[in-house]
Amino acid sequence: MTTEMICAGFGGQGVLTIGRFLAQAGMKEGKNVSWLPSYGPEMRGGTANVSTVISDEPIASPIVSYPDLLVALNQPSLDKFGPMVRKDGIIIYNTNMCPRGCKRDDVQLIPVPMNDIANEIGSAIVLNMLAIGIIIGKTGLVKYESIEEVLNSFLREKNPELLEKNLQAIKRGIEIGKQYT
């Protein structure tokens, strides 16, 4: 199986990390992965996006034309990438920053007030971890344990407090994602 995914949002919302951690977890599980960020001055205050592919087969193009999965953290991202999602694909979006929502009826929509939930957990910076959780809960793309391992290696020493918050956000996301299965 191959899952092609785009994560997009404002620079600073941590979208690149969503793709990176999922790719890293996928790699740990022996899958083929690729991670392709947008780059350049558009990152400065502008929007950022990352294409991530996780597959059992060798990955041909890391560029994603028709994502199976979109994570949109703001309205411009949802407007830009929403129409590209494959029929029967999944769109996870942040209702706090997507006031107009998404009009498609041929895909599965997962609207989540991500800022609200992240703030409940205690910090806006766990928003991207929440998104990772929702993806895992909905699709089982990678195992929770693999993500935990990745996060451990990044944060266990550097910032155990943030690690705990991140894991909490991922677990919360998984619960939300599961409601849509």
Please tell me whether residue 50 adopts helix, strand or coil conformation: strand
In angstroms, give the least distance from the CB of 101 to other proteins. 26
Q: Which two tokens stand for residue 55?
A: 């597959």
In angstroms, give the least distance from the CB of 36 to other proteins. 4
Q: Does 88 bind other proteins (CB under 8 A)?
A: no
Q: Which two tokens stand for residue 179?
A: 């409601």
Which is nearer to other proteins, 76 or 111 (by Cβ)?
Answer: 76
Which is nearer to other proteins, 23 or 71 (by Cβ)?
Answer: 23
Unique residue bearing structure tokens 């895992």: 136
In angstroms, give the least distance from the CB of 155 to other proteins. 16
User: What's the residue count for the chain?
Assistant: 181
> Among residues 12, 3, 21, which one has the least CA distance to residue 132?
21
In angstroms, give the least distance from the CB of 138 to other proteins. 23
Q: Which of residues 5-64 bind other proteins (CB under 8 A)?
A: 20, 23-24, 27, 32-37, 39-41, 44-45, 59-64
Q: Which two tokens stand for residue 101?
A: 């929502």
- DSSP secondary structure code for residue 7 in this structure: E
Give the amino acid at 62. Answer: P
Using CB under 8 A, count the residues that bind other proteins: 23
> Hey, which residues does 139 pair with through a beta bridge?
none
In angstroms, give the least distance from the CB of 61 to other proteins. 4
Give the amino acid at 103. Answer: K
Applying CB under 8 A, which residues contact other proteins?
20, 23-24, 27, 32-37, 39-41, 44-45, 59-66
